[in-house]
Amino acid sequence: MKIATFNVNGIKARLNAVTDWLDESQPDVVLCQEIKSVDQGFPREPFEDRGYNVETHGQKGFNGVAILSKRPLEDVRRGLPGDDSDEQARWIEATVMGDHHAVRVCGLYLPNGNPAPGPKYDYKLAWMQRLEARARDLLADEMPALMAGDYNVIPQAEDAARPEAWKDDALYLPQTRAAFRRILNLGFTEAFRARTEAPGYYSFWDYQAGAWEKNNGIRIDHLLLTPAAADLMTDCQIDAFARGREKPSDHVPVWIDLAA
């Protein structure tokens, strides 16, 4: 089962880029972020025509998450538990039925948090506390599960071409990285780093200042696996080539293969 995370940066603006990548890479499941569309406005047909079931948790103009799956989806839930007053569309989860295992897939778009300090950063840290609580519940369920998406977290210096440029940014502040590590330390595997320890791998390049051409990137799109899911992983890759395509997202897909 090939499962990808992809911050599409506007599903309507990137429709061709996304469908071209789907045709080329043939993932079974895609967890999309920043669809920037209400549920009714999501362009379902191009994906359904390709055999995908579509579940969305949208919001007008910004945020928004979705699941595209060639396999049946069960028990779809929208919104990260823990704060009923949170109206931002940043979390969607469902159970995907594989040939051998059911896998709980959780798609997330973690808050950016800038400017920090400030209320946006407070919201980010509070959201990460709620994420940690949901992570604990996923572990307790003991089924294969993953939390994948745009975490807006640069975990370590190797995950930025110029880490010094990010030292005061909400993506790289010590409190952010500590909150991310607390989740990992519950027993999760960060899929890409389990396969590749080398620096120089990124999933985001800004549109400004020739970042792509200079390979001035950061790695902020992650897949965190429970032990039961980590045992099934056979590969994890970043499709960096997608950033060089016409009208690309500023993020690229990151995917895993699970023997599920």
- Name the residues annotated as catalytic: 109, 150, 251
Which residue's structure tokens are 């994948």?
148
Which residue's structure tokens are 């967890």?
31
Give the containing element (helix H, strand E) for 122.
helix 119-141
Neighbours of 168 (CB within 10 A): 10
In contact, 228 and 146? CB cutoff 8 Å: no
In contact, 80 and 91? CB cutoff 8 Å: yes
Residues that constitute the known binding site: 7, 34, 150, 152, 250-251
In contact, 257 and 2? CB cutoff 8 Å: yes
In contact, 8 and 105? CB cutoff 8 Å: no
Question: Which residue(s) pair with 41 in the sheet?
Answer: none
Residues that constitute the known binding site for Mg(2+): 7, 34, 150, 152, 250-251
The pair phi, psi for residue 63, each rounded to 5°, is 55, -150
